[in-house]
């Protein structure tokens, strides 16, 4: 009888143990594991601190490079000399040279020997007729070069500028008509900034 009671007691204890094992284990949450609202970054622009400046792209572009008149004159001088030697200029040069009794080959030789130095006002001015003396050396070559420069500045300058690698295109374009007036009146061809823009519009 005692043996039977002990067997029933062990069976009862084993049954309780199985029940406990089947129950889900609950892990207590620590404060760090408790759910809290997730903070998302604000999409609103940050307020500018006092005393700080926000750089503007437009200002940076405009003040990035202050191109000098010398650089502009160098680019224009080379462009006009190259145009005078190009095939595009020949149709214009033929009647000009015919009127001045100059051959195309002699004109090309005249420009070729001076092309590299045509990069400043002084040298470019020396290639243009000053009008002080009709017996000026090489005056007919200078007159021919003057006329072909005027044609370039009036009809070919914009295409040359926007197809070139020159970065400051707007600055060069602003000087276009100033240089045109100086080519027409070489005696006033000294400094770009000193030239009176209201004179010599012809």
Comparing 156 with 31, the larger pLDDT belongs to 156
User: What pLDDT does 81 receive?
Assistant: 96
pLDDT, tens digit (0-9, with 9 covering 90-100), for 82-99: 999 999 999 999 999 999
Is residue 152 within 8 A of residue 169, CB to CB? The reply is no
User: pTM here?
Assistant: 0.62
Displacement of CA 24 from its chain's centroid (Å): 71
Comparing 124 with 5, the larger pLDDT belongs to 124
Calculate ∠ Cα 169-172-178, nearest 5°.
155
Radius of gyration, CA atoms only, the chain = 43
Out of 38-42, 110-114, 146-150, pick the least confident.
38-42
Neighbours of 157 (CB within 10 A): 22
| Position 163 confidence tier, pLDDT thresholds 50, 70, 90 | very high
Mean pLDDT of the residues in the chain: 74
pLDDT, tens digit (0-9, with 9 covering 90-100), for 112-147: 999 988 888 888 888 999 876 656 679 999 999 999
148: tokens are 């072909």
pLDDT at residue 184 tops 70: yes
User: What pLDDT does 83 receive?
Assistant: 97
Give the rounded percent of residues in the chain with a pLDDT score beyond 70.
57
Calculate ∠ Cα 67-201-153, nearest 5°.
50
In angstroms, the CA 61 to CA 55 distance is: 11
């Amino acid at each position: 009888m005692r043996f039977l009671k002990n067997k029933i007691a062990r069976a009862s204890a084993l049954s309780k143990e199985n029940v406990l094992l089947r129950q889900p284990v609950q892990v207590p949450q620590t404060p760090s594991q408790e759910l809290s609202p997730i903070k998302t970054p604000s999409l609103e622009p940050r307020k500018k601190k006092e005393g700080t400046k926000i750089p503007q792209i437009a200002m940076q572009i405009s003040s990035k490079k202050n191109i000098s008149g010398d650089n502009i004159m160098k680019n224009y001088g080379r462009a006009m000399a190259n145009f005078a030697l190009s095939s595009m200029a020949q149709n214009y040069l033929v009647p000009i040279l015919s009127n001045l009794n100059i051959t195309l080959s002699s004109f090309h030789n005249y420009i070729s020997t001076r092309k590299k130095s045509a990069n400043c006002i002084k040298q470019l001015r020396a290639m243009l007729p000053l009008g002080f003396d009709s017996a000026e050396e090489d005056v007919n070559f200078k007159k021919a070069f003057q006329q072909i420069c005027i044609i370039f500045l009036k009809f070919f300058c914009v295409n040359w500028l926007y197809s070139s690698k020159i970065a400051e295109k707007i600055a060069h374009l602003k000087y276009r008509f100033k240089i045109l007036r100086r080519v027409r009146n070489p005696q006033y061809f000294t400094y770009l900034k000193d030239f009176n823009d209201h004179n010599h519009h012809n």
